[in-house]
Protein backbone atom coordinates (compact mmCIF):
# COMPACT_ATOMS: atom_id res chain seq x y z
CA UNK A 1 0.00 0.00 0.00
CA UNK A 2 1.02 3.60 -0.55
CA UNK A 3 0.09 6.45 1.75
CA UNK A 4 -0.20 10.20 1.49
CA UNK A 5 0.12 11.81 4.91
CA UNK A 6 0.18 15.08 6.80
CA UNK A 7 2.27 15.42 9.94
CA UNK A 8 1.86 18.22 12.47
CA UNK A 9 5.26 19.29 13.75
CA UNK A 10 5.92 20.50 17.29
CA UNK A 11 6.36 24.08 16.06
CA UNK A 12 2.85 24.05 14.54
CA UNK A 13 3.86 23.60 10.93
CA UNK A 14 2.64 20.82 8.68
CA UNK A 15 4.68 18.39 6.58
CA UNK A 16 3.10 16.49 3.69
CA UNK A 17 4.58 13.45 2.01
CA UNK A 18 3.97 9.98 0.66
CA UNK A 19 5.41 6.60 1.61
CA UNK A 20 4.84 2.87 1.28
CA UNK A 21 5.61 2.27 4.98
CA UNK A 22 3.77 4.80 7.15
CA UNK A 23 4.99 3.49 10.53
CA UNK A 24 8.63 3.55 9.42
CA UNK A 25 8.30 7.07 7.99
CA UNK A 26 6.66 8.40 11.16
CA UNK A 27 9.43 6.86 13.28
CA UNK A 28 12.07 8.40 10.98
CA UNK A 29 10.50 11.85 11.31
CA UNK A 30 10.45 11.60 15.10
CA UNK A 31 14.07 10.41 15.10
CA UNK A 32 15.05 13.35 12.89
CA UNK A 33 16.35 11.15 10.09
CA UNK A 34 13.56 11.48 7.52
CA UNK A 35 14.44 14.86 6.07
CA UNK A 36 16.73 17.76 6.76
CA UNK A 37 13.62 19.96 6.91
CA UNK A 38 11.92 18.11 9.77
CA UNK A 39 14.81 17.81 12.23
CA UNK A 40 14.16 21.08 14.10
CA UNK A 41 10.42 20.44 14.19
CA UNK A 42 10.40 17.18 16.18
CA UNK A 43 8.34 15.56 17.53
CA UNK A 44 5.67 15.10 14.90
CA UNK A 45 2.25 13.54 15.05
CA UNK A 46 0.23 11.98 12.26
CA UNK A 47 -2.93 14.02 11.73
CA UNK A 48 -4.15 12.76 8.36
CA UNK A 49 -3.49 9.92 5.92
CA UNK A 50 -5.03 8.30 2.87
CA UNK A 51 -4.30 4.88 1.37
CA UNK A 52 -3.69 4.33 -2.34
CA UNK A 53 -3.00 1.28 -4.46
CA UNK A 54 -0.21 2.81 -6.53
CA UNK A 55 2.73 5.10 -5.92
CA UNK A 56 1.55 7.45 -8.68
CA UNK A 57 -1.85 7.96 -7.02
CA UNK A 58 -0.20 8.72 -3.68
CA UNK A 59 2.23 11.16 -5.29
CA UNK A 60 -0.58 12.93 -7.15
CA UNK A 61 -2.60 13.34 -3.93
CA UNK A 62 0.50 14.62 -2.11
CA UNK A 63 0.91 17.29 -4.78
CA UNK A 64 -2.76 18.25 -4.47
CA UNK A 65 -2.46 18.60 -0.69
CA UNK A 66 0.69 20.71 -1.01
CA UNK A 67 -1.29 23.18 -3.14
CA UNK A 68 -3.79 23.79 -0.30
CA UNK A 69 -3.56 26.72 2.10
CA UNK A 70 -3.06 26.10 5.81
CA UNK A 71 -6.77 26.72 6.47
CA UNK A 72 -7.77 24.27 3.74
CA UNK A 73 -5.42 21.63 5.20
CA UNK A 74 -6.96 22.11 8.65
CA UNK A 75 -10.45 21.70 7.17
CA UNK A 76 -9.31 18.53 5.38
CA UNK A 77 -7.94 17.15 8.65
CA UNK A 78 -11.05 18.14 10.60
CA UNK A 79 -9.17 20.67 12.74
CA UNK A 80 -10.97 23.79 11.55
CA UNK A 81 -13.82 25.19 13.66
In terms of pTM, does the model score above 0.85? no
The whole domain housing 31 covers 2-77
**DSSP per-residue codes, 28-56:** HHHHT-S-TTTGGG-SEEEEEEEEESSHH
Q: Which of 60, 59, 26 is closest to 43 using CA atoms?
A: 26
Can you tell me the mean pLDDT for 4-12? 84
CATH number at residue 38: 3.40.1440.10
What is the number of structural domains in the chain? 1
How many C-beta atoms surround the C-beta of residue 81 within 10 A? 4
pLDDT of residue 57: 93
pLDDT in tens, 48-74: 889 999 999 999 999 998 898 888 888
What pLDDT sits at residue 37?
59
Residue 38, pLDDT above cutoff 70:
no
Amino acid sequence: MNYTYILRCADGTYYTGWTNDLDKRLAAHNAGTASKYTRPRRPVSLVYHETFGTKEEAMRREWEIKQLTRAQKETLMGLAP
